[in-house]
């Protein structure tokens, strides 16, 4: 399958992403990408590609802030937040999350990083989360 050619707008965003030195700057770029997608100046494929690149760049920069961008990781984060909303992460929910991670190509390291970020944010808000451990062959998700 041949890779599609990047639009001029997409290349402009790529340059901005590579020049960004803070997660705040990346969030501003992600917001601009979302606006361009909403105006249909970027295709969803381009926005998703840029969002994934933004997320990878955010991993390199210091800080524990979450960068919200159209990306596979953000889709997974929203699913994770949905399952954590009631304060309990059951074994069944963990299996569903594992399947979602497999579908989106989200590795254990990224999953654990997102969990740490979300749990830290919820702890600051005074919320608690209980994570059920697997018995037997599966490992604990914590």
Domain with 119, as residue range(s), is: 72-131
pLDDT tens for each residue of 35-54: 999 999 999 999 999 999 99
Same structural domain, 53 and 84: no
Same structural domain, 95 and 56: no
Same structural domain, 47 and 15: yes
Same structural domain, 47 and 77: no
pLDDT tens for each residue of 71-121: 998 999 999 989 988 888 899 999 999 999 999 999 988 888 888 888 888
Q: How many domains does the chain have?
A: 2
Residue 124's pLDDT band, with cuts at 50, 70 and 90, is confident
In-domain check, residue 2: no
In-domain check, residue 48: yes
End-to-end CA distance of the chain: 38
Torsion angle of alpha carbons 124, 115, 18, 24, nearest 10°?
-20
Same structural domain, 85 and 113: yes
């Amino acid at each position: 399958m041949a890779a599609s050619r990047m639009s001029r707008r997409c290349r402009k965003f790529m340059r901005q992403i590579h020049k960004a030195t803070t997660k705040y700057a990346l969030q501003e770029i992600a917001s601009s990408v979302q606006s361009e997608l909403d105006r249909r100046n970027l295709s969803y494929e381009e926005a998703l590609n840029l969002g994934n690149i933004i997320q990878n760049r955010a991993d390199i920069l210091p800080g524990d802030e979450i960068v919200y961008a159209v990306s596979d990781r953000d889709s997974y984060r929203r699913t994770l937040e949905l399952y954590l909303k009631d304060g309990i992460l059951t074994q069944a929910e963990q299996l569903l999350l594992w399947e979602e991670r497999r579908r989106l190509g989200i590795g254990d390291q990224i999953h654990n990083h997102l969990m740490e970020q979300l749990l830290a944010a919820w702890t600051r808000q005074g919320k608690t989360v209980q994570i059920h451990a697997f018995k037997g062959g599966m490992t604990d998700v914590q």
